[in-house]
Structure 1
Amino acid sequence: MSIAEPFERVQHAYANGERRPLAGYLASLCSYGALVGVATAVGRRRGTRLPDRLTPADTVLLGLATHKASRLVTKSSITSVLRAPFTRYEKPAGEAEVKETVRGHGVRHAVGELVTCPFCTGVWIAGALTAGLVLAPKATRLVTTALSAVAISDWLHLGYDAAKE
């Protein structure tokens, strides 16, 4: 019996007749874990200590910045060039956003799901920004402030347009 056979049995039992890219999901999870491990190793090597707590302002900035960055990565017209190897354009989806469907199988499909899902990508972005607050707090606060300002500006644009109608 090969090492892959038990995994293939689990995948077959789970999929319920559908093509589900469990190997791709596993690769994504391992990649995320590896990146967290690298950030942790860098922090330890530099002697960086974790903050006792994050301030409410940091949490708000992280939330707004994660929201904006995840929308930019997963839905923005301008970043569609990054998603194109994994997706197919369907139609416009609102202000400067597009609707895309995932294409391919295995890892390609799993990556396509990740880069088209703001909820999924948000976990990665929040992790990166949180690591940034620990490893490079000044630069990260600058980035989170800028992304938060753009998010607030977007909502104000949408509110302004709605008020005109």
Structure 2
Amino acid sequence: MPIAQSFRRVQAAYAEDEQRPLLGYLASLCSYGVLVGLATAVGRHRGTRLPERFTAGDTVLLALATHKASRLMTKSSITSVLRAPFTRYEKPAGVAEVQETVRGNGVRHAVGELMTCPFCSGVWIAGALTAGLVLAPRPTRLITTALSAVAASDWLHVGYDAAKN
């Protein structure tokens, strides 16, 4: 049985009449795997050794930076230009954020879901920042510190506004 025909059967059994972009998800997973493999190959080529452990400070910076970067990528008004080929604007969604719906089919739809879901994009961003901490720790710490500061600043703005009311 040809692979394409087998894939169509799996897709039909999985989602019946609903259109789910399984091929797009597969392309996304393969892309992520290729990028992880590429980072690993670069590290091996350079002779980079994995750290024995990450510090608690690195982990906190990574978590805050991943949170902020994923919100910027998936919800920020200013980055809507990056999402526009894959989404449709719906309405404002809070402070400097927008709500969008995914459009298109297949890979386009899967990319749209990745670009509008902070939980989904967080995996990619955390992976990139973690690779950065291993392959280029100084610039990555600079980036994670700046993103973490912006995340903390956002919460201070929200708290300040709440305290005024």
What TM-score, normalized by structure 1, do the two folds share? 0.99
The Cα offsets for residues 42-101 of structure 1, whole Å up to 9 and x where unpaired, read as 000000000000000000000000000000000000000000000000000000000000
- Structure 2 counterpart of 1:21, one-letter code: P
Alignment pair present for 1:146 and 2:146: yes
Equivalent residue, structure 2, for 1:76 = 76
Classify the secondary structure of the residue corresponding to 2:52: coil
How far apart in 2 are the matches of 1:65 and 1:109? 26
Classify the secondary structure of the residue corresponding to 1:85: coil
Equivalent residue, structure 2, for 1:119 = 119
How far apart in 2 are the matches of 1:92 and 1:162? 19
RMSD between aligned alpha carbons? 0.5
How far apart in 2 are the matches of 1:108 and 1:156? 36
Higher mean displacement: 8-17 or 48-57: 8-17
Unaligned runs of 5+ in 1: none
Equivalent residue, structure 1, for 2:18 = 18
Equivalent residue, structure 2, for 1:34 = 34
Q: Percent identity?
A: 82
How far apart in 1 are the matches of 2:6 and 2:101? 30
Equivalent residue, structure 2, for 1:66 = 66
Alignment pair present for 1:50 and 2:50: yes
How far apart in 2 are the matches of 1:145 and 1:164? 28
How many residues align structurally?
A: 165
- Structure 2 counterpart of 1:102, one-letter code: V
Unaligned runs of 5+ in 2: none
Classify the secondary structure of the residue corresponding to 2:54: coil
The Cα offsets for residues 7-51 of structure 1, whole Å up to 9 and x where unpaired, read as 110001001310000000000000000000000000000000000
Alignment pair present for 1:158 and 2:154: no
- Structure 2 counterpart of 1:25, one-letter code: Y
| Runs of 4 or more above 2 Å deviation | none
How far apart in 1 are the matches of 2:7 and 2:43? 34
Alignment pair present for 1:94 and 2:94: yes
* Cα drift, residue 3 of structure 1: 1.9
What TM-score, normalized by structure 2, do the two folds share? 0.99
Classify the secondary structure of the residue corresponding to 2:100: strand
